[in-house]
Amino acid sequence: MERTYVMVKPDGVQRGLVGEILSRIEKRGLKLAALRMNVMDEAIAKEHYKEHSERPFFASLVEYVTSGPSVSMVVEGKDSIKIMRAVNGATNPVEAVPGTIRGDFSIETGRNVVHASDAPESAEREIALHFEESEITGYTRIDEGQLYE
């Protein structure tokens, strides 16, 4: 089973979308392995987005993700990294197709509601940045026998 780091960004929390987003993830068949709400620390946000540190939007991005509570989670399942990227939709909501979270609930790249790790290396790095191993649960969902062949 593969793990990925997913976040409902502060705009998603403020707009009352947490339940909808968690519901989509759960209904898809992916398992919530860890879940927390907090205001992301600025140093953690800078580390999280360090690949973008030279980009012109970096300062506003850090300000955005630390502007209020966000919901962080570890999501688990076969191919969870690729599936969560598809569930979230394209980074720019203009290109995000309807049926995706960004395609259904957002307008601008700078307020695109959700985050998900983009590769196995970033998933491992982001999970370790945001969670202690002891916070990540291990359990079997009752529907796993039907989800997987």
Q: CA torsion sign, 117 to 123 to 128 to 129?
A: negative
With 0-12 CB in 10 A as exposed, 13-18 as middle and 19+ as buried, what is 138?
A: exposed
DSSP alpha helices (H): ranges in the chain?
A: 10-14, 18-28, 42-48, 58-65, 80-88, 101-105, 120-130, 144-147
Minimum CB distance to ligand GDP, residue 8 (Å): 12
Map residues 117-146 to x or -, x wherever contact with ligand GDP holds by CB under 6 A.
-x----------------------------
52 is catalytic: no
Cβ nearer to Mg ion, comparing 34 with 117: 117
The yes or no reply on residue 40 touching ligand GDP (CB under 6 A) is no
Minimum CB distance to ligand GDP, residue 134 (Å): 27
CB 109, CB 93: distance < 8 Å: yes
User: Which of 15, 20, 109 is CA-nearest to residue 69?
Assistant: 15
The yes or no reply on residue 4 touching ligand GDP (CB under 6 A) is no
Of 31, 115, 130, 131, the residue at the interface with ligand GDP (CB under 6 A) is: 115
| Residues tagged in the binding site annotation for ATP | 9, 57, 85, 91, 102, 112
Tell which positions 105-124 bind Mg ion, by CB under 5 A.
Answer: 118
CB 24, CB 17: distance < 8 Å: no
Cβ nearer to Mg ion, comparing 4 with 77: 4
Residues that bind ligand GDP (CB under 6 A): 52, 57, 60-61, 91, 109-110, 112, 115, 118
